[in-house]
Structure 1
Amino acid sequence: MPHPSRRQVLATALAAGLPLGLHAQPAPSPLSKSPSHLPRLITIDGSITEVVYALGAEAQLVGTDTTSLYPKAAQKTPKVGYMRQLSAEGVLSLKPDAVISTTEAGPPVVLDQLRSAGVKVELVKTEHTWNDVKAKVSAVGRAAQREEAARELQTRLDAEWAQVTRQVAAQSKPKPRVLFILSHGPSPQVAGLETAADAMIRYAGGVNPLSGFKGYRPMTAEAMAGAAPDFILTTDLGIQALGGIDKFWQRPELALTPAYRKRAVVVLDALLLLSFGPRLPQAVQEVHSRLYT
């Protein structure tokens, strides 16, 4: 059986927990040795790595995890493995001063070993709210010793967030029913409450028709017929895993939905859609615009 790609691992991890375009993508730059007077950083989460680049602190990065795929320059950094399967030896070999991650990183014993070795470990609680973004920016600012830059970045992001939330609130049309499908394997699943996908649907002005459970459940014909979604929300990796958009619509469960009759699907990059990083305003606006235009 082929091993999943790094992007497939990323999307599944984000979902299980993810255009304004006000910020240009940081220009790729070669990995360089971190300045001797600034902390050496390892980031364990793609959205936190994005914050490092947004702060211009990429020269301090000595390593990232396999979910760190944006911007492209992050893909060239030394990798310490998948965020839930870290090893203390791999992390410590890069001699970091600080490791920044979310509470989804692990295993816990490895994090304890890092602390015992004198590494500062910053963990951000995952709640799938705007506070996630604030906490990530603040955590990176502290660990990188760039607090002022972090405050300036947060001010800009807050302005973006205020703009997009006003736009969503001003929408007078009935809210569409939006169902998220995670389809990176042979058995697609649908998202209930307390998932990144559920939060994204609500922020973008939609309604998740699967409110009777938390987390993810297998996609069944009964679930699809009962949910009756107007739109399907999914990731680009999910579409690729199923063999393309035509193969996606050939799933028999989808034929039972209003979305099937209109071929109404919203497909976004998994990291953009589900990571709740600094591009969250952009992701919300993108989904909102596709639901209402």
Structure 2
Amino acid sequence: MTRTRPGLRRLAAATLVGVGLLAADVTSLRAAEIVVTDATGRDVGVTDARRIVSIGGSVTEILYALGLDARVVAVDTTSIHPPSALQDKPNVGYMRQLSPEGILAMSPSLVLALDGSGPPEALAVLRAAKVPFVQVPDRFTPDGILDKIRLVAAAAGEPRRGDCLAAAVAQELSSLATPAGPRAAGRPPRVLFVLSFVNERAMVAGRDTAADGIIRMAGATNAMADFAGYKPVGDEAIIAAQPDVVLTMERPGQTFTAEAVLSRPAFVMTPAGAAKAFVSMNGQYLLGFGPRTALAVRDLAERLAVLGAPAAKPAAESLPAVDTLTARHDAALEACLK
């Protein structure tokens, strides 16, 4: 939710040009206070969006997709797409282990942090600082993605850009809505997402998680939907879940192989273990819930289909390759803003 309060003094155009901004940006950046309602229900006023610290991979991805990367002065370690973000921008650390001093040292005029950032003590300091601090909601649904795009754009003073990008992403997401047809055994495949292993117990995803959201969007069923969040479970729970496919994510320093997971005694006693049905995908791509999520859903659905577990329609005929998506979004944004 956004609204504006007029009355703040416009800066001279020459001053803005001196820091690399066009005079046309005055209205969106300094002429009025933009008020957004963040994930916590707080109303946050933003009067200057020229120096943004972006925390959360999908937040950074959205800012770049909006064409606002020049305003980003620092990112966190989860901001791995596009690769230039971490390569070119200072790094303020992991989003769940933030140091408010490190963030404020970047002299930001706005901090955008994905919901779930922490620790709570650090967030309390950032909320108390004079710099506007906006927690960006992270809901694991198509509508949640579109709302995230619009909020990030509104906080940055570019609501029209947000509407344009959201429209392009909504069209991509809508192409995933048609089922593929009859499914094996008359039911959607049961997918078990394994985050990690803790003391030989599998840390798996229940409902209300990004993994649960992407599994459902791909037309499958979360095999561990009886509880919420991520939870370590014993062998009995894995056997009882009877997953058809095991899904994991690739991240720096941790990439599971099919053999390392499916050879464990509990997994051997499941349909996934018997069929060696295993899928591993890049973590930010799979669970980011940002501008690339429609492609991630398509790719997951295609991999499930290859394993004999058809899910949602891959929609390959209407979605581009991953490496051409940025150009497609840039073109859509340019055409919409004319």
TM-score (norm 1): 0.80
Letter in 2 for 1:125: P
Listed one character per residue, the Cα deviations across residues 21-47 of structure 1 (whole Å, up to 9, x for unaligned) are xxxxxxxxxxxx973565111111001
Q: Greater relative contact order (Cα 8 A, min sep 6): structure 1 or 2?
A: 1
Matched residue, 2:220: 206
**Whole-Å Cα distance in 1 between the matches of residues 51 and 277 of structure 2?**
46
Contact 2:258 2:276 in 1 (8 A): no
Q: Secondary structure at the match of 2:20?
A: coil
For structure 2, list consecutive stretches of 5 or more residues without a partner in the other structure. 1-17, 26-48, 307-338
Contact 2:197 2:203 in 1 (8 A): no
CA distance in 2, matches of 1:246, 1:34: 54
1:47 aligns with 2:47: no
Tell me the equivalent position of 2:196.
Answer: 183
Per-residue CA distance 1:15-69 (angstroms, 9 max, x = gap): xxxxxxxxxxxxxxxxxx9735651111110011000111111111100111111
Shift of 1:162: 0.4
Instruction: Give aligned pairs, total.
Output: 258
Q: How does 1:107-122 map to 2 (within 5 A)?
A: 107-122=119-134
Name the residue aligned to 1:64: 75
**Partners of 2:136 and 2:152 within 8 A in 1:** no
Supply the distance in 2 between the matched residues of 1:92 and 1:280 (Cα, whole angstroms).
31
- Which residues in structure 2 correspond to 1:273-284 (within 5 Å)? 273-284=286-297
- Distance across 1 between alignment mates of 2:204 and 2:266: 12
Counterpart contact for 1:183–1:238, Cα < 8 Å: no
Query: Structure 2: how far apart are the matches of 1:69 and 1:176?
Result: 30
Unaligned runs of 5+ in 1: 1-32
Structure having the larger proportion of residues in strand: 2
Kept in 1: contact 2:113–2:136 (CA 8 A): yes
Secondary structure of the residue aligned to 2:220 is coil
- Is the alpha carbon distance of 1:218 and 1:143 closer, same or farther for their aligned partners in structure 2, counting shifts above 3 Å? same
Does structure 2 conserve the Cα–Cα contact (< 8 Å) formed by 1:132 and 1:277? no
Post-superposition offset of 1:241: 4.5
Alignment match, 1:13: none
Q: Which amino acid aligns with 2:171?
A: A
Give deviations 1:245-291, integer Å, cap 9, x for gaps.
33233222210111111111111111111121111111111111122
The worse-fitting range, judged by mean Cα deviation, of 275-284 and 41-50 is 275-284
Matched, 1:85 2:97: yes
* Among candidates 209, 221, 232, match of residue 246 of structure 2: 232
Moved more, 273-282 or 111-120: 111-120
Deviation string, structure 1 residues 198-217 (Cα, Å, up to 9, x no partner): 11111111112223222222
Maintained 8 Å contact 1:34/1:60? no
2 CA distance for matches of 1:119 and 1:65? 18
Given the superposition, is the C-alpha separation of residues 64 and 265 from structure 1 closer, same or farther in structure 2, using an over 3 Å criterion?
same
Identity of aligned residues (%): 38
Mapping of 1:238-277 within 5 angstroms? Answer: 240-242=254-256, 244-277=257-290
Structure 1 residues 34 and 258, CA, compared in 2 at 3 Å: closer, same or farther?
farther
Cα distance in structure 1, aligned partners of 2:164 and 2:83 = 24
Correspondence 1:53-202 to 2 at 5 A: 53-76=64-87, 77-166=89-178, 169-173=179-183, 174-183=187-196, 187=200, 188-202=202-216
Q: Secondary structure of 1:182's partner?
A: strand
CA root-mean-square deviation? 2.3
- The letter of the residue matching 2:249 is T
What secondary structure does 1:183 align onto? strand
**3-state SS of the aligned residue for 1:165?**
coil
